[in-house]
Amino acid sequence: MDGQDRVVTIIGRNLWETGNDAGGEMSPPPPPPPPRVVICVGDVHGYISKLESLWANLQSALPPDAFATALVVFLGDYCDRGPSTREVIDFLLALPSRHPAQRHAFLCGNHDLAFAAFVGALPPPPDGTPFSSTWGEYIQNEENEGWYRGPGHEGMHCQGRRWGGIMKEKRNPKRGSSYMGSIYDARPTFESYGVAHGSPELAPNLFYSTSMTCSLNITKFSKLASSSPTVKENVPIDTNEGQIICKLIAVHAGLERSIDLNEQFRILRTKDTKISKVAMLSGRQDVWNIPKDLAGKQTIVVSGHHGKLHIDGLRFVIDEGGGYADRPIAAIVFPSKELIRSTEGTSSQNRSRYHQE
């Protein structure tokens, strides 16, 4: 290639070399591509029509190239409450082939962990501890929550037993509605796969009459959904003072404020399933704020789980839907911090921009 300029790309860096022996002026290297747009999608909870509406609204709101190459982080809780968990899972499983230039991360929510536990897709504790060891912390609730006692319960994680159980108390005072079967409102998930609530036929290793395709898709998705947080460096964020570069951490419920961050990441990344209840997937007040380890650092923490939309500095809670039939599913887009919502079946506007006060 003597006499010609050439660009050599090594590990994402453009190293410009020249072979022009005549001493001519060298052309500048091309500008780097813009950073990927990052989209964080709140809890879906079995509402396929809302998910399809949100996806269409995202596609309409973003420039074609930005949407086609986006990193899309689903914040967890794909099942329960809504009527179409099976269709939601099929939709999500198809995304990598439908949008091959995008990157997709499917975080595990507390509902997804319980679903995986019931169908036998939860990885065993790394130290060989039996799942029955998780029962003790919550055993006082077994009768009131009507834990699952059918085939296979002896070797089931406590959250799987709670998920497949039947509540004695029919009214959920926190949500102002009736329980849908279990404390997790799992009955619609069972029904979306054509079986009665609490039926062992849902589990791939115990099924009798459900189709093989249904069983394989449940197992495939349960293994696809990751309990690990998504961590992305160098995410630009628009602020009133200009654009800043942040690290982004996405985890279903948030990170505990007073617990060592490395220990929290260890639990999530090793899938330490001997723990009865993982605060980063199920917590409330203890995961609401930015952890102390991240105070003063340019790190965004994004979660769903809490049944509301809340933005405070670099802490983003994106769960406007909360599994309620009349509320939209929301997503936030970085760097713009634009909120995009589903519009099917709701009266909400499909987009708005968050401004830092």
As for how many domains the chain has, the answer is 2
How high is the pLDDT of residue 223? Answer: 61
Same domain, 231 and 355: yes
Domain that holds residue 261: 36-108+225-357
Mean pLDDT for all residues in the chain = 86
How high is the pLDDT of residue 213? Answer: 54
Same domain, 120 and 93: no
How high is the pLDDT of residue 258? Answer: 86
- Average pLDDT score over residue span 57-64: 98
Contact 265, 278 (CB under 8 A): no
Is 28 within the bounds of a domain?
no
Same domain, 99 and 245: yes
Percent of the chain residues past pLDDT 90, beyond the cut: 68
Is 83 within the bounds of a domain?
yes
Q: Is the pLDDT of residue 300 over 60?
A: yes
Q: Is the pLDDT of residue 7 over 80?
A: no
How high is the pLDDT of residue 319? Answer: 98
Q: Is the pLDDT of residue 137 over 70?
A: yes
How high is the pLDDT of residue 270? Answer: 84
How high is the pLDDT of residue 17? Answer: 31
pLDDT tens per residue across span 178-219: 999 999 999 999 999 989 999 998 875 334 434 445 555 666
Q: Is the pLDDT of residue 8 over 90?
A: no
Contact 343, 329 (CB under 8 A): no
Domain boundary residue, one of 202, 224, 246: 224
Cα–Cα distances in angstroms (integers) from residue 171 to residues 163, 219, 268, in the given order:
16, 31, 33
Domain boundary residue, one of 190, 224, 258: 224
How high is the pLDDT of residue 295? Answer: 87
153 is catalytic: no
Same domain, 103 and 116: no
Is 40 within the bounds of a domain?
yes
Token code pair at residue 233: 């460096």
Same domain, 81 and 57: yes
Same domain, 129 and 173: yes
Q: How far apart are CA 313 and CA 245, in angstroms?
A: 14
Is 41 within the bounds of a domain?
yes
Same domain, 348 and 314: yes
| Catalytic position from the list 45, 99, 111, 305 | 111
Q: How far apart are CA 255 and CA 55, in angstroms?
A: 27
Contact 74, 353 (CB under 8 A): no
- Average pLDDT score over residue span 7-15: 31
pLDDT tens per residue across span 102-128: 999 999 999 999 999 999 888 888 889
Is 14 within the bounds of a domain?
no
> Picking from 24-38, 45-59, 81-95, 120-134, which range would have the lowest pLDDT averaged per residue?
24-38
Angle between helices 85-98 and 48-61 (to 10 degrees): 30
pLDDT tens per residue across span 246-289: 999 999 999 999 899 999 999 988 888 999 999 999 999 899 99
- Average pLDDT score over residue span 141-169: 97
Cα–Cα distances in angstroms (integers) from residue 184 to residues 58, 161, 325, 352, in the given order:
29, 11, 16, 31
